[in-house]
Structure 1
Amino acid sequence: MFGIHDLTLFIISGLLLNLMPGPDNLLIMTRTAMQGWRAGSAATLGIGLGTMVHVLAAALGLSAVLSTSAAAFTVVKWIGAAYIVYMGIGMLHAKLRNAGDDTTPSAMAARAGRAAKPLAWRTIFFQGFLSNALNPKVALFFLAFVPQFIAADSGNKPLAFIILGCIFNINGMLYCHALVAFTAFASARLNIKPVVSLWLNRTMGGLFLALGMRLALSEQH
Structure 2
Amino acid sequence: MTPYIDEFITIAIIHLVAVASPGPDFAVVVRHSVTYGRRAALLTSIGIGLGILLHVGYSLIGLSVVIKTTPWLFRTISYLAAAYLVYLAIGALRSGPSSSPAVVGVDTKNKATMSDRKALWTGFLTNGLNPKATLFFLSVFTAIINIDTPFSIKLMYGIYLSVATGVWFCFLSYLLSSSKIAHLIGSKGYWLDRVMGVLLLGLAAKLVWL
Sort the TM-score into its range (normalised by shorter chain): 0.7 to 0.9
- Note the alpha carbon deviations across 1:5-26, whole angstroms, 9 max, x for none: 4123322332232211111111
Query: Cα offset for 1:59?
Result: 0.6
- For 2:141 and 2:147, locate their aligned partners in 1 and report how far apart those are by CA, in whole Å: 12
Counterparts of 1:109-120 in structure 2, within 5 Å, are 111=99, 113=101, 117-120=112-115
Aligned-partner Cα distance in 1 for 2:117–2:169 = 18
Contact 2:83 2:204 (8 Å CA) reproduced? yes
TM-score, reference length from structure 2: 0.85
Which residue identity does 2:204 align to in structure 1? G
RMSD: 2.3
Task: Report the more deviating stretch, 77-86 or 34-43.
Answer: 34-43
Does the alignment pair 1:206 with 2:198?
A: yes
Give the match for residue 173 of structure 1: 166
* Residue ranges of structure 2 left out of the alignment (5+ in a row): 103-109
Q: CA deviation at 1:3?
A: 6.9
The corresponding residue for 1:31 is 32
* Counterpart position of 1:60: 61
SS at match of 1:192: helix
Which protein has the larger Cα radius of gyration, Structure 1 or Structure 2? 1
Structure 1 unpaired stretches of 5+ = 98-110
Displacement after TM superposition at 1:141 (Å): 0.9
Deviation of 1:50 (Å): 1.1
One-letter identity of the residue aligned with 1:72: L
- How much identity, in percent, do the aligned residues show? 30
| Letter of the 2:207 counterpart | L
Distance change in 2, residues 1:82/1:27 (3 Å) = same
Map 1:74-89; keep pairs closer than 5 Å: 74-89=75-90
After superposition, where does 1:47-196 map in structure 2 within 5 Å? 47-95=48-96, 111=99, 113=101, 117-154=112-149, 156=150, 158-185=151-178, 186-190=180-184, 192-193=186-187, 196=188
Q: May I ask how many residue pairs the two structures share in their alignment? A: 201
Q: Given the alignment of the two structures, is residue 4 of structure 1 paired with residue 4 of structure 2, yes or no?
A: yes
Matched, 1:19 2:20: yes
CA distance in 1, matches of 2:177, 2:93: 22
Normalised by the size of structure 1, how large is the TM-score? 0.81
Deviation at 1:159, TM superposition (A): 3.3
